[in-house]
Amino acid sequence: MQLSLKLDDGYRETPEETFLRVYRQMRVRARRKPPEIRAVRLRWRPYANSIGTLRIRDGEMRVGLSEVLREAPQAVLESLAEIVVGKAFRERTAPEYVQQYRAWLNHAETRLKIEALRQQNGRKLTSGTKGRQWDLRELFDTMNTRYFKGAFPAVELAWSRTESRTHLGHWDPAHRTIVLSRFLDRPETPRLAAEYVMFHEMLHVVHPVEFDNGRRRVHHRSFKEAEQRFEGLREAKTILKRLCSGSLTF
């Protein structure tokens, strides 16, 4: 594992220097030789979903990094450079770099910063609650009464703007919004399936993501135990797999 440059007088590489060094080191050992890079242009971006991007054009490496990385440790920038530059070379990144970067990315403090950045970027782009087949507010109120005794915390509800059959729903904590895929809003979708997806996303609100040794766990033990309360769980999952040809996430 390469060590980042750190001199006795306390000097540390700039992010530009780190990316340029990693690129040149990888170019030396690469089978195919990409163009030589003369300079790195780095811009800090308000990225929340994408932490880093890289383009090579006219002998210049153009790097975009999320504002979240401004205060990241040097070792994290080193790891990210190895990952991003490695993709440009189509090279497999050493596991220690991936592990180090994921540990930082999944740390609770980092996740809070990412969510804060998402909030600053404005409101979530979604449609309203009334669909052609189902009304999200009515589904939510039914699940709230049946499983949460009407005491569920206030959240926003919306249909997605696209009809994804693989990503059926998600909970966005930054905007406190439960979003269901517009794909479910059709006569072919039994009410039991729509209710289950709504219930599943409501569980994400009361059973948030857990972090264990840098690993991010979304469907952890307490979540799965709570999910067993849903009446008709197995049937609902079978229906959704049939509707989505066996490929789904939410």
Q: Do domains 15-120 and 136-243 have the same CATH topology?
A: yes
Whether the full predicted model's pTM is greater than 0.75, yes or no, is: no
12: which DSSP letter?
A: B
Average pLDDT over the chain, rounded to whole?
A: 85
Task: Give the residue from 237, 241, 156, 247 showing the smallest Cα distance to 200.
Answer: 237
Domain boundaries, the chain: 15-120, 136-243
Does domain 136-243 fall under CATH 3.30.2010.10? My reply is: yes
Among 97-111, 132-146, 235-249, which range has the highest average pLDDT?
A: 132-146
pLDDT in tens, 5-45: 444 455 678 999 999 999 998 888 877 777 888 899 999 88
Q: Which helix (H) or strand (E) holds 77?
A: helix 74-89
CATH level 2 (architecture), domain 15-120 = 2-Layer Sandwich (3.30)
Distances 204 to 37, 57, 74, 179 between C-alpha atoms, Å: 45, 42, 33, 12
pLDDT in tens, 208-228: 888 776 677 889 999 999 999
Task: Give the residue from 81, 80, 47, 182 showing the smallest Cα distance to 127.
Answer: 182
